[in-house]
Structure 1
Amino acid sequence: MKHAVSNLFAVILLTTGAASAATPTPAGVTRTDLQRHDLSIAGRETVQARIDIAPGAVAPWHRHPGEEVIYIIEGTLEYQLEGQPPVTVTAGQVLFVPAGVAHMARNRTASNGAELATYIVEKGKPLLVPVVVSTSETGTQEKSR
């Protein structure tokens, strides 16, 4: 029995480690899930989270299987949506990210930046999908995944 429990614990560690490795959290970015609920629209759910981005940190390019409504609760953050110039959003302001649009966030300040993110997404799909996009900053042409 003791051996079976040890094996089960090892499987749990490997499984959770694999899930974490699939979508690593970037240094300086902390996500705190606040709530998740099914919606009255079949196959959709809403997820709400607080995302903290430390000074100098970047939440790299990614997309979601639905819309994201962002409310800045602290500091100033810079966002870039694929194909658009960067925009700076400060505490008390909002930003809307359409479904499937690749985007990134960056904290160029010396203070913490935080957002309240509300996602209206397809249930059962990964909430965040990392992508690689073309950017004028790098001067490279890369394909989205």
Structure 2
Amino acid sequence: MKRLSALSTSLALLGVTVAFAQDDPLPEGFETQPLIKTSVSRDDDPIVYPTGKPEVISVVGTLAKDGRTALHKHPVPVYVYVLEGEIELRTEGKEPHRYKAGEAFIETQNRKHQAFNVAGTPSKILAVFIGEQGKPTTVAAQ
């Protein structure tokens, strides 16, 4: 294996791309559980990618018991996965929707919304922003 790694490194230095083929796309002992595959947000709006130099930012957010986010909007696509608890999303012009631990969604772009913790304990989310360097991922609603 070391010999193969050294060969790969040498070829890479020469500008040669090396790829290793597998019979199966997932190696033995590795399983996946699909969460979401979509081209629209949770409100059926098309996902629009930013222009310029891309930047991916991920955060884990915790909403305290009975907590909420500020009223805000996102100019970039945002993937959200509920790690713990349950949240309710209230979006301008839409019916509220609840998401429990283990559920994922694509946040609505450029529309005012707010998340509320509806669990009896703190709720945690993973948010992944597909943004642009130097540009905000979240904007306070006015």
Report sequence identity in percent: 27
Q: Measure the CA separation in 1 of the matches of 2:53 and 2:111.
A: 20
Q: TM-score, normalised by structure 2?
A: 0.59
Counterpart residue number, 1:83: 93
> Which runs of structure 1 show a deviation greater than 2 angstroms over 4 or more consecutive aligned residues?
41-44
1:105 lines up with 2:115 in the alignment: yes
Distance, in Å, in 1 between the alignment partners of 2:87 and 2:96 is 10
Indicate conservation of the 8 Å contact 2:87/2:99, yes or no.
yes
Among 85, 95, 105, which residue is 1:95 paired with? 105
Where does residue 61 of structure 2 map in the other structure? 51
1:64-106 superposed Cα distances (whole Å, 9 cap, x missing partner): 2201110000011111222111111000001211332221100
Residue type of the alignment partner of 1:55:
K
Count residues with an aligned counterpart. 92
Is 2:64 the counterpart of 1:60? no
Pairing 1:123–2:114 present: no
Please say which of residues 94-103 and 81-90 is displaced more in the overlay.
94-103
Q: Give the number of the structure whose alpha-carbon radius of gyration is greater.
A: 2
The 1-side partners of 2:111 and 2:95 are apart by 14
Higher relative contact order (CA 8 A, sep 6+): 2
Hey, which of these two has a bigger chunk of strand by percent? Answer: 1
Task: Give the whole-Å Cα distance in 2 for the aligned partners of 1:49 and 1:83.
Answer: 27
Distance 1:87 1:99 in 2: 16
What TM-score comes out, normalization by structure 1 length?
0.58
Alpha-carbon distance in 1 for matches of 2:121, 2:108: 28
> Are the equivalent residues in 2 in contact too, given 1:79–1:105 (CA < 8 A)?
yes
Gaps of 5+ in 1: 1-40, 132-144
More helix as a share of residues: 1
Q: Is the 8 A contact 1:51 1:114 kept in 2?
A: yes
